[in-house]
Amino acid sequence: MKLTIVGATGGIGSQLLVQAVAAGHEVTAVVRNPARLPHDTPVRVVTADLSAAGPVDLRAAVDGSDAVLSGLGARSGAEAGVASRGTRALVRAMRATGVRRVVVVSAASVGTVPSPGRPNPPRHNPGDGFFMRHLAAPLAKAAFRRHYGDLALMEDVLRDSELDWTVSRPPRLLDRRWKRSYRTAYGQNVRAGMFIARADVAHHMLDVLDRPETFRRVIGIAY
């Protein structure tokens, strides 16, 4: 397939890149700093700073692609806003070029974060048990309030689009080797699922690309 990978120098993004190339896909990488890409990676590179104040034109990055994958996210609270802004630019470019399929990363805690498009989310994620509901989730939401607000807005942008989107919502991310064995849950978090390797999130994002039952769905993923 022809794939566009946004944030291809990030934790999940670099895993998407390595796995997509290894699987024989033809990849366009959208990055703000091409020097961070591994040398000799056979990809086309489009440079874009997605936090730019004006609208960013990503049509050249997505035109002709079969699907778009995004590991875009703020590196710090101060950079929060880039996921929603970048995804808005992506949706605009996809609409203009007729590309329909997009898979992005959000976060497990986002299911209970209010946003303009979802002002009254459930108080607790149906997949969360006592520990997650009353301890881990409130702590994470306090610590990453700006990140989660950005990701909730990003999910709004996709929900409001007519695209074939899938949102992956992992819990705490690990830099470990992939297991290629994990649990997933539609529309909710995975019961008692606390961790997942970035490599396995990438594996799942690539795996759902051509599965229509995952279109317009949020999917929890964890071990």
Ligand X SMILES: NC(=O)c1ccc[n+]([C@@H]2O[C@H](COP(=O)([O-])OP(=O)(O)OC[C@H]3O[C@@H](n4cnc5c(N)ncnc54)[C@H](OP(=O)(O)O)[C@@H]3O)[C@@H](O)[C@H]2O)c1
Instruction: List Cα–Cα distances, 184 to 38, 108, 168, 175, 193, in angstroms.
Output: 30, 12, 9, 19, 9
Least separation in angstroms between CB 50 and ligand X: 4
Beta strands 217-222 and 2-6: pairing type? unpaired
* One of 23, 34, 36, 138 touching ligand X (CB under 6 A): 36
CA–CA distance, 65 with 5 (Å, rounded to integer): 10
Q: Total residues at the site for ligand X (CB under 6 A)?
A: 27
Mark residues 169-208: x for contact with ligand X by CB under 6 A, - for none: -x-xx------------------------x----------
Least separation in angstroms between CB 218 and ligand X: 13
Question: Nearer Cβ to ligand X, position 82 or 94?
Answer: 82
Q: What are phi and psi of 26, to 5 degrees?
A: -95, 115
* One of 3, 5, 9, 158 touching ligand X (CB under 6 A): 9
Of 36, 70, 68, 32, residue with least CA distance to 48: 32
Tokens of 79: 């950079």
* One of 3, 4, 5, 7 touching ligand X (CB under 6 A): 7
Mark residues 113-142: x for contact with ligand X by CB under 6 A, - for none: ------------------------------
Q: How many CB atoms lie within 10 A of CB 145?
A: 14
Confirm if 99 and 68 have CB atoms less than 8 A apart. Answer: yes
Instruction: Tell me which residues touch ligand X (CB under 6 A).
Output: 7, 9-13, 32-33, 36, 49-51, 71-73, 75, 79, 82-83, 105, 107, 147, 151, 170, 172-173, 198
